[in-house]
Structure 1
Amino acid sequence: MTGIICAMESELQAVLEHMIEEKTRQVGQVRIHYGMLDGKKVAACLSGVGKVNAAMATTILCQDPEIERIVNVGVAGGLKEEQSVGDLVISDEVAQADFDTSPIDGEAGIGLVFKVDEGLVEKACLAAHSLNIPYRIGGVATQDLFMSREEDYKKLLGRFPESACSEMEGGAVAQVATAFNKPFLVLRTLSDVAVHNDNPLEFSEFAKMASRQAANVIRAFCALI
């Protein structure tokens, strides 16, 4: 069974629209929806925004012995000039970009990086190709920060220049899934691009569209599992 974690209600609803729901289970504030997505068993839940919320939801899912893999799906901000709203980022590594113990550990204390299961990356690429969605394999940078200032962008890219997108949950999902020995994948559809001048307008207008596209990708992905 695939565990699917969404940060925002629009992201979860876009997935649930295509699910045949069989049951729900409430653990604390996390409601897990069990059912079938394109013929495959899934468990989908809303984590809420931010790393602590994502870590709690991932921990709950990972304690279910039927969950074989974790997929964190949703929207993110692109970090490259050549990217466009609607593009897909398929993670090959995920970084806790705002983790910083460098005053005592030097450069080794900047960021926690987690490698993504190569088999899941391959299936995600096949899913994107089948939907004819532009995609990039790259790093996902996680911070408890919605980047809106130029200095935020410069700081992140100075430390993690290969990052393809920035968001607020993937690093926590990666760290918890790794601790439970569950393979994981982070999929992000771009709702805005940090280096575009109309960035705030892009997010408000395209977040729902990006959520729907992310749901289509997870459907195609699950069909390949």
Structure 2
Amino acid sequence: MARALHIGVLGAMPEEIGSDLSHLQLLESEQHGDLTIHHGTWAEGIRLSLAWSGWGKVSAARAATRLLSSAPDIDLLLFTGVAGAADPALTQWDVVLADAVVQHDMDSRPLFPRFTLPALNRAQLNPDTSWLRWASTALAQAAQEGELDGFGLPSTGLIATGDRFIGDADVLDALREALPGLKAVEMEGAAVAQVAEQEGMPWLVLRVISDGADASAAQSFGDFIQMYDHRAWCLLQALLSRVELAPKR
């Protein structure tokens, strides 16, 4: 009998995954300080371990490390949640799957070029192409089959992470200039990707646009996140229901 696919899922807040844990069966939880990690079964052959990390790169990296330590047989680490739009073509509810992530506040010049992570000697991190292809195909199929009602069409692109909630058009313009092709900005994804890379773990970052990272971002974010709680699980379900397409472990 084949081993169950085991996916680790992280979000900064409960609303970013869908705070209702009733989707999981055989639910167990473990506590690490103020971090709770939940383990359960979604369907036969699919296990999930999930946690809500809290905001920011340090909290996200800590949660990723704890999650991987608590479940060494995880096959994929997925961070999901909301983000601010950097691409003016994106609007609320659009879905962005990162084909690259960068920590926009990493700057150790003149020792390393701007954005370069010294531990990896790379600026941009890219997910495993097989897992990226699986997720992109699964989301596209779900959208085509009407399973993502209310969401925009999924796309892929560069997502930037930093310990700053961006609500200033000038700051956003500077990031766009420094990072051509930037799609979205958030506060956790690239930190989780760095942990996963250093641990040899496949990873994905999946985001839904909540605001325009402009002067109205805080209000837009606050209103949006309450609505998103009720729909967030749809994205996970779109992936989980198509695990037959996932890379072989």
User: In the alignment, is the contact (CA less than 8 A) between 1:97 and 1:112 conserved in 2?
Assistant: no
**What SS does the corresponding residue of 2:137 show, helix, strand or coil?**
helix
Letter in 1 for 2:8: G
1:144–1:108 CA distance, 2 compared to 1 (3 A): closer
2:225 is the counterpart of 1:207: yes
Aligned twin of 1:179: 198
- Alpha-carbon displacement from aligned partner over 1:122-153 (angstroms, at most 9, x marks no partner): 22223322332411100110010110112210
Where structure 1 has 5 or more consecutive residues not aligned to the other structure, the ranges are: none
Aligned twin of 2:79: 72
Which is strand-richer, 1 or 2?
1
Aligned twin of 1:190: 209
2:127 is the counterpart of 1:116: yes
**What SS does the corresponding residue of 1:124 show, helix, strand or coil?**
helix
Aligned twin of 1:152: 171
Give the RMSD, CA atoms, in angstroms.
Answer: 2.1
- Counterparts of residues 123-134 of structure 1 (less than 5 Å): 123-132=134-143, 133-134=152-153
Which is helix-richer, 1 or 2?
1
Matched residues, percent identical?
30
**What SS does the corresponding residue of 1:209 show, helix, strand or coil?**
helix
- Alpha-carbon displacement from aligned partner over 1:60-91 (angstroms, at most 9, x marks no partner): 12222121110001111111111110010001
Deviates more, 1:96-105 or 1:76-85: 96-105
User: In the alignment, is the contact (CA less than 8 A) between 2:95 and 2:207 conserved in 1?
Assistant: yes
Aligned pairs, number? 224
For the residues of structure 2 that align with 1:67 and 1:108, how far apart are their CA atoms? 29
1:21–1:221 CA distance, 2 compared to 1 (3 A): same
Letter in 2 for 1:28: G
Where structure 2 has 5 or more consecutive residues not aligned to the other structure, the ranges are: 1-5, 144-151, 244-249
Deviates more, 1:131-140 or 1:164-173: 131-140
2:227 is the counterpart of 1:222: no
Q: Work out which of the two has the higher radius of gyration on C-alpha atoms and give 1 or 2.
A: 2
- Counterparts of residues 31-42 of structure 1 (less than 5 Å): 31-39=36-44, 40-42=46-48
Letter in 2 for 1:166: V
Aligned twin of 1:23: 28
For the residues of structure 1 that align with 2:180 and 2:20, how far apart are their CA atoms? 32
Per the normalisation by structure 1, the TM-score is 0.90
For the residues of structure 1 that align with 2:32 and 2:182, how far apart are their CA atoms? 33
Aligned twin of 1:57: 63
**What SS does the corresponding residue of 2:111 show, helix, strand or coil?**
helix
1:141–1:15 CA distance, 2 compared to 1 (3 A): farther
1:214–1:187 CA distance, 2 compared to 1 (3 A): farther
